[in-house]
Amino acid sequence: MAKNSSIDKTKRHVILSYENDSHFHFLNFEHLEGDTMERTTKNRESILKIIESSEVPLTAYDISNRCKISLPTIYRALNFLARNGDIRSFTLDHYAYYYSSAEHKHFFRCTTCERLFPLYECSIEDYEKHLEDRMGIKIDEHFILFTGTCQECLQQR
């Protein structure tokens, strides 16, 4: 369930309020009972598994190629998982890419073959401290995407 959800059984509605916007989504409570509720949970679990088992961030389309779940359902699950903090996303060339928030990593993108590579080294703590002191801010997290030419493409030059 979303963080701010309230269930009013007399009206048989589930009201989900989104944290960052003022849109309210009214869903008929009956549709979320039993089988549908179970399927929703199962879909979210399998989508999260696909993302977690991938080395690189995936688009919704990539995910749809790895399971039999429809794109609209995938988008709904992705929104839920992102709100829940299970996954993070970024936009690149107009596509949203999703990756697991379980492990901290940076990414490298080759501008020649357009592949994404994960980078597991992170050594910018000193830089964060420097910024916090200098600007009087508190940094919670960071996202880094390097671009350039990968080893394979370099060798083909």
Give kind and range of the element (H or E) at residue 153: helix 151-155
Rg of the chain over all Cα atoms, to the nearest angstrom: 19
Closest distance between Zn ion and the C-beta of residue 36, in Å?
39
In angstroms, the CA 53 to CA 121 distance is 19
Closest distance between Zn ion and the C-beta of residue 117, in Å?
9
Q: At a CB cut-off of 8 Å and minimum separation 6, what does 28 contact?
A: 12, 13
Choose one: 44-52, 61-69, 85-93, 117-125; the region binding Zn ion (CB under 5 A). Answer: 117-125
Closest distance between Zn ion and the C-beta of residue 121, in Å?
8
Choose one: 21-29, 39-47, 81-89, 149-157; the region binding Zn ion (CB under 5 A). Answer: 149-157
Dihedral sign (CA 64, 70, 76, 77)? negative
Task: Tell whether residue 14 is a contact of Zn ion (CB under 5 A).
Answer: no
Task: Tell whether residue 150 is a contact of Zn ion (CB under 5 A).
Answer: yes
Site residues (vs Zn ion, CB under 5 A): 110, 112-113, 122, 150, 153
